């Protein structure tokens, strides 16, 4: 079974600075997807970014980018120019590329605080 590990329960960053959240995963599959979700105090789960394992290029969405190291099974999220609205719980998630159910396996989350 796949596992996802987020080794940083909490992180903090100063407004306008850059922070990197870590995620590692364990799988024997070669075809899979990785995701970062953000959960602000409103509790809504919001997709931040998605990475397909077969793509070597790291995904980027505005101020959010990932460092995907397939051989190391590492998938870190970098937030540039941090804003107060980035304060949230961040979850890393894995989805198998095969099969038919597309279920997600989540890490336990990293709580990000942004200091003004």
Partner 1 sequence: DAGITQSPRHKVTETGTPVTLRCHQTENHRYMYWYRQDPGHGLRLIHYSYGVKDTDKGEVSDGYSVSRSKTEDFLLTLESATSSQTSVYFCAISGRAIPGDTQYFGPGTRLTVL
Site string for partner 1, 31-70 (x = CB under 8 A): --x-x-x-----xxx-x--x-x------------------
Question: Minimum CB separation from partner 1 for residue 102, in Å?
Answer: 5
Give the CA dihedral 98, 104, 110, 111, nearest 10 degrees: 150
* Ordered DSSP codes for 51-63: EETT--SPPEETT
Determine which residue in the list 56, 85, 101, 116 makes contact with partner 1, applying CB under 8 A: 101
Is 5 an interacting residue with respect to partner 1 (CB under 8 A)?
Answer: no
Residues in the chain: 116
Q: Supply the minimum distance, in Å, between the C-beta of residue 16 and partner 1.
A: 29
- DSSP string for 68-91: EETTTTEEEEEE-S--GGG-EEEE
């Amino acid at each position: 079974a796949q596992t996802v590990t987020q080794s940083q329960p909490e992180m903090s960053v100063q407004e306008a600075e850059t922070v990197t959240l870590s995620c590692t995963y364990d799988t024997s599959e070669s075809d899979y997807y990785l995701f970062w979700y953000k959960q602000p105090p409103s509790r809504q789960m919001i997709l931040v970014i998605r990475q397909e394992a077969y793509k070597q290029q790291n995904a980027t969405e505005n101020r959010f980018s990932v460092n995907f190291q397939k051989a190391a099974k590492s998938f870190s999220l970098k937030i540039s120019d941090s804003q107060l609205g980035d304060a949230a719980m961040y979850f890393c998630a894995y989805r198998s590329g095969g099969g038919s159910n597309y279920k997600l396996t989540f890490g336990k989350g990293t709580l990000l605080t942004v200091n003004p």
